[in-house]
Amino acid sequence: MVRDGDWLTETGARIRGVLKVMVDAGWLPGGTAVIGTGGMWEFVAVGRTSDLYMTAPDVSYDVASLTKVMATWPLVGQAMAEGLLDLDAPVSEYLGVDEALPGAGVTTRQILTHTSRLNQVTWLERHVGTGQHLAEAILSDPLEEPGYQYIDQGFILLGLVLENLYGTGLDRLAEDLWEEMGMHSTSYGPLGRSPSVAPTECRLVGAAPDWGVVHDEAASLMGGVAGHAGAFTTAIDLGAFAREMLRMHEGGRGPVPKPFVRASWQPHVDAGHRLSRGLGWLVTPEGVVHHNGFTGTGLFMHPRSGRYVGVLTNAVHYGRDRTGLTDLRSAARAALVPQAYDSQS
């Protein structure tokens, strides 16, 4: 097994190389990464955030769906530990909606495993101006066929559930959680336009890109604060999050209880492509747990070795094709599955 110091150096060089290829090819402006294990970590920064500014480990990126596992998922674990939330109780019990609605029986566990059968299409625009509560609107749709399907709407509901349970906004709940974990540069938007914030997509040719405001359209309609998207973070804070989660997985004190973390990182349902879905997270056959964000972000952890790789890019800046992003994520994942582990899996 490669020593930790050598692994950090080799992995940093590998991720830097992939990012450089992507930047040189004009596929994205740039990106940052954090590579860590135990008390050691290394940062990579390649390219720019836009045509004007260089990127760096302290630049904030819109993490998109990483919000699901950086905000909503740990807060669900916290609420469960405090006896406020039962994973197998219908979410309608916590939302005060009509229990006769088609989706009223959906549970938090089903949402976390993406087996809720909720509508796969998150077009919240159709509810604008109707006067109907968002939770009721989502649960009013007929359920889809049984099976695994990645769905945003369930995490939107969980964000609303958490706000009802605690009587305060999801952004405040999440920021208290992040502060406790030493993540002082992570927050929901909006953030001021500055060199320390990476802009995302330029939606209209000739117009300015989204900058410091959430890229996800549904989260935008919700004021930028949602259970499925809306958070911004830096490579430094992403590393802190990974380190704290791995520590709590081993029983360290923290806001998310060890049993919940361990259960979340076990396979629960088949997600296809040799992947399983735990509670919130994807799990590989080699035991790597990970999650991605549409804007070009991802976090990969290997609990058995205590190693992690987090990547932050604004790959959507040049369009939604996000060319090369699969190679970047594959490199991050492969770095956590060295030869020593391949022979045991």
**What distance in Å separates the CA atoms of residue 322 and residue 339, rounded to the nearest whole number?**
30
C-alpha torsion angle, residues 165, 96, 134, 226 (rounded to 10) = 10
- Cβ–Cβ < 8 Å for 12, 57: no
Q: Which residues contact 75 (CB under 8 A, 6 or more apart)?
A: 162, 170, 173, 174, 177
The pLDDT of residue 52: 87
Q: Tally the residues of the chain.
A: 345
Domains identified in the chain and CATH numbers: 1-59 (no CATH), 60-230+249-289 (3.40.710.10)
Q: What is the pLDDT along the chain (345 residues), one digit of tens a residue?
A: 689 999 999 999 999 999 999 999 999 999 999 999 989 999 999 999 998 899 999 999 999 999 999 999 999 999 999 999 999 999 999 999 999 999 999 999 999 999 999 999 888 999 999 999 999 999 999 999 999 999 999 999 999 999 999 999 999 999 999 999 999 999 999 999 999 999 999 999 899 999 999 999 999 999 999 999 999 999 999 999 999 999 999 999 999 999 999 999 999 999 999 999 999 999 999 999 999 999 999 999 999 999 999 999 999 999 999 999 999 999 999 999 864 333 222
236 closest CA partner among 27, 25, 45, 17: 45
The pLDDT of residue 341: 36
Beta-ladder partners of 47: 30
The pLDDT of residue 94: 98
The pLDDT of residue 51: 87
Residue 89 CB neighbour total at 10 angstroms: 13
The pLDDT of residue 1: 67
Q: What is the DSSP string of 125-158?
A: GGGTTS---HHHHHHHSPP--SS----SHHHHHH
What's the whole-model pTM score?
Answer: 0.96
Q: What is the DSSP string of 170-218?
A: HHHHHHHHHHHTT-TT-EES----STTB------STTSPPP-SS---HH
The pLDDT of residue 135: 97
